[in-house]
């Protein structure tokens, strides 16, 4: 019988989701999860966001892990710390996370900010 996996909810384009995915991939533990991706421009986002909101009684946050025990845990740094303890692979050993945080994450966040500003201007037209 296959062991049930924890479910990892990530948002496409979310720098925090990518950060946790980097940790899992670099530690060879991504396959421990069933990954569900919420894409902002698809029905998947509303479905996943509504599900998380109903289960947690709060606004959805990405990444979120739904454990096989029914707990919901979120926050990339908090999840990395928790799974570092579980897997006995410290975050400090994953140099790709340092690169991501110093180089790619700020760029990605800036692009997202620019897109929000552009969309706001378009809605004013």
Q: Are 19 and 81 in contact (CB under 8 A)?
A: no
What is the distance of C-alpha 56 from the center of its chain? Answer: 16
Provide the pLDDT for residue 109.
81
Q: Are 45 and 39 in contact (CB under 8 A)?
A: yes
Span 54-79, pLDDT tens digits:
999 999 999 999 999 999 999 999 99
Span 89-106, pLDDT tens digits:
999 999 999 998 898 888
Report the predicted TM-score, pTM, of the whole model to 2 decimal places: 0.85
Residue spans of the domains in the chain: they are 6-124
The topology under which CATH files domain 6-124 is Glutaredoxin (3.40.30)
């Amino acid at each position: 019988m296959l062991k049930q996996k924890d479910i990892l909810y990530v948002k496409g384009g979310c720098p925090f989701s990518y950060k946790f995915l980097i940790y899992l991939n670099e530690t060879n533990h991504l396959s421990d999860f069933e990954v569900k991706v919420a894409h902002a421009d698809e029905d998947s986002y509303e479905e996943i966001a509504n599900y998380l909101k109903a289960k947690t009684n709060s606004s959805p946050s990405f990444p979120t892990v739904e454990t096989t025990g029914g707990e919901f845990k979120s926050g990339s740094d908090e999840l990395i710390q928790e799974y570092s303890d579980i897997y006995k692979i410290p975050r400090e050993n994953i140099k790709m996370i340092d690169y991501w945080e110093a180089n790619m994450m700020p760029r990605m966040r800036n692009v997202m900010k620019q897109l929000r500003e552009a969309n706001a201007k378009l809605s004013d037209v």
